[in-house]
């Protein structure tokens, strides 16, 4: 499957992971730019560990019907033509709504770009409200 010819306008969003020294935060728009020339791979969904982990509702957050509906809307709108982004370790850095959509559709693989070396975080230990959302 070929990618659509134009990169869609991306909303400001961040990938957050707990590191050894606190939270690490990546600007997803920057990750998309950095990954643009990486090869597209077909990755088995069975290798996406996040499918069996708490992903959107960590840190004591409980899912509300409204938040689940919001995620369901994003899954329905997700375009599987766009590859997800994986860290060098194979962790999802962008595309969990696409992963969920592929899993719901019974797909066995998903298109992905994997960083050979995980880019350095853009922010560390920042409150999400203090990040730019332009």
Q: What pTM does this model have?
A: 0.86
Is residue 45 included in any domain, yes or no?
Answer: yes
pLDDT for res 23: 87
Residue 17: its pLDDT value, please? 86
Q: At what angle do helices 65-77 and 96-104 cross, to 10 degrees?
A: 80
- Asked whether residue 51 is domain-assigned, the answer is yes
CB-count burial class (<10 Å; 0-12, 13-18, 19+) for 126: middle
Question: For residues 117 and 119, what is the distance between their CA atoms, to the nearest angstrom?
Answer: 6
| Residue 118 forms part of a structural domain | yes
> Residue 1: its pLDDT value, please?
57
Distance CA 95, CA 82 (A): 9
Which CATH number goes with the domain that contains 118?
Answer: 3.90.1530
Structure tokens that stand for 127 in this block = 């409150």
Residue 30 included in any domain:
yes
Phi and psi at residue 108, in whole multiples of 5°?
-100, -25
| Domain assignment of residue 93, given as a range | 14-124
Considering the domain boundaries, does residue 20 fall inside one?
yes
pLDDT value, residue 96 = 94
The domain tally of the chain equals 1
Specify if 3 maps to a domain: no
The answer to the question of residue 131 being in a domain is no
pLDDT confidence of residue 116: 97
Give 10-residue mean pLDDT values along the chain (134 residues).
Answer: 57 81 89 96 96 80 88 93 96 95 97 97 82 76
d(CA 33, CA 102): 23
- Residue 8 in any domain: the answer is no
């Amino acid at each position: 499957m070929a990618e659509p010819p134009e990169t869609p306008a991306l909303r400001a969003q961040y990938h957050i992971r707990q590191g050894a020294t606190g939270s690490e935060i990546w600007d997803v728009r920057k990750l998309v730019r950095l990954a643009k020339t990486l090869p597209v791979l077909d990755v088995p969904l069975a290798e996406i560990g996040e499918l069996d982990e708490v992903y959107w509702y960590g840190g004591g957050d409980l899912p509300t019907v409204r938040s689940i509906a919001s995620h369901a809307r994003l899954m329905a709108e997700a375009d599987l033509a766009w590859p997800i982004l994986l860290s060098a370790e194979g962790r999802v850095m962008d595309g969990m709504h696409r992963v969920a959509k592929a899993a719901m559709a019974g797909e066995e693989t998903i298109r992905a770009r994997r960083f050979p070396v995980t880019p350095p975080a853009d922010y560390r230990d920042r409150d999400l409200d203090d990040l730019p959302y332009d």
